[in-house]
Structure 1
Amino acid sequence: MTKKNKKCGYAAVLGRPNVGKSTLINQIIQQKLSIVSHKPQTTRHQILAIHTTDRGQLIFIDTPGIHNQKGTALNKHLNQTAQSSSFGVDVVLFLVEAMKWTDEDKRAAKVACRSDGKKILVINKVDKVKHKEQLLTFVQTILNEFEFDAIHYISALKNKQITPLEDSVFDYLPEGEPIFDEDQVSDRSTQFFVSELIREQLMLRFHQELPYSTSVSIEQYEVKGVIHHIHAIIWVERKNQKGIVIGRQGEALKQIGVKSRKEIEQFIGARVNLKLWVKVQSSWTDDAKAIDALGYQDTFKD
Structure 2
Amino acid sequence: MVDKKGFKAGYVAVLGRPNVGKSTLINQVLQQKLSIVSHKPQTTRHQILAIYHNPKGQIVFLDTPGIHNQKKTALNKQLNQTARSSAQEVDVILHLVEAGQWHDEDRRATEIVMSGGGQKILVINKVDLVDEKSELLPFVDNILINFSYDEVFYISALKNKQVDHLVSRLLNMLPESPPLYDPSFISDRSTRFFVSELIREQLTLRFHQELPYSLTVTIDAYEPEESITHIHATIWVEREQQKRIIIGRGGAAIKQVGVKARAEIEDFIQSRVNLKLWVKIKSAWTDDQQALDGLGYKEP
Question: TM-score normalised by the shorter chain: which range applies?
Answer: over 0.9
Return the offset for 1:282. Answer: 0.3
Pair 1:82-2:83 in alignment: yes
Identity level (%): 65
Return the offset for 1:114. Answer: 1.3
Return the offset for 1:179. Answer: 1.4
Pair 1:169-2:195 in alignment: no
| In structure 2, distance between residues paired with 1:294 and 1:144 | 43
| In structure 2, distance between residues paired with 1:217 and 1:265 | 18
* 1:277 match: 278
* 1:61 match: 62
| In structure 2, distance between residues paired with 1:229 and 1:211 | 26
Which runs of 5 or more structure 1 residues have no equivalent in the other structure?
none
Pair 1:244-2:245 in alignment: yes
Amino acid at match of 1:100: Q
Amino acid at match of 1:200: E
Amino acid at match of 1:24: L
Once the two structures are superposed, the pairs formed by residues 152-231 of structure 1 within 5 Å of their partners are 152-231=153-232
| In structure 2, distance between residues paired with 1:228 and 1:146 | 50
Cα deviation digits, residues 172-197 of structure 1 (max 9, x gap): 10110111111210000000000000
Amino acid at match of 1:28: V
Amino acid at match of 2:242: Q
| In structure 2, distance between residues paired with 1:4 and 1:160 | 30
* 1:268 match: 269
| In structure 1, distance between residues paired with 2:168 and 2:226 | 43
Return the offset for 1:71. Answer: 2.2
Normalised TM-score (structure 1)? 0.97
Return the offset for 1:171. Answer: 1.2
Q: Secondary structure at the match of 1:198?
A: helix
Q: Is the 8 A contact 2:12 2:91 kept in 1?
A: yes
Q: Is the 8 A contact 2:4 2:177 kept in 1?
A: no
| In structure 2, distance between residues paired with 1:99 and 1:55 | 34
| In structure 2, distance between residues paired with 1:95 and 1:105 | 9
* 1:116 match: 117
| In structure 2, distance between residues paired with 1:198 and 1:116 | 34
Amino acid at match of 1:223: P
Return the offset for 1:116. Answer: 2.1
Normalised TM-score (structure 2)? 0.98
Q: Is the 8 A contact 2:18 2:66 kept in 1?
A: yes
Cα deviation digits, residues 7-52 of structure 1 (max 9, x gap): 0100000000000000000000110000000000100000000001
* 1:26 match: 27
Which runs of 5 or more structure 2 residues have no equivalent in the other structure?
none
Return the offset for 1:70. Answer: 2.4
* 1:294 match: 295
Q: Is the 8 A contact 2:4 2:178 kept in 1?
A: no
Cα deviation digits, residues 191-241 of structure 1 (max 9, x gap): 000000000000000010002000000000001222110000000000010
Amino acid at match of 2:223: E
Q: Secondary structure at the match of 2:146?
A: coil
| In structure 1, distance between residues paired with 2:78 and 2:125 | 26
Cα deviation digits, residues 132-164 of structure 1 (max 9, x gap): 110000000000011111110000111111011
| In structure 2, distance between residues paired with 1:34 and 1:3 | 30
| In structure 1, distance between residues paired with 2:167 and 2:268 | 24
Q: Secondary structure at the match of 1:289?
A: helix
| In structure 2, distance between residues paired with 1:94 and 1:116 | 13
| In structure 2, distance between residues paired with 1:12 and 1:298 | 16
Cα deviation digits, residues 46-95 of structure 1 (max 9, x gap): 00000011111100000000001122110000000000000010000000
* 2:48 match: 47
Q: Secondary structure at the match of 1:133?
A: helix
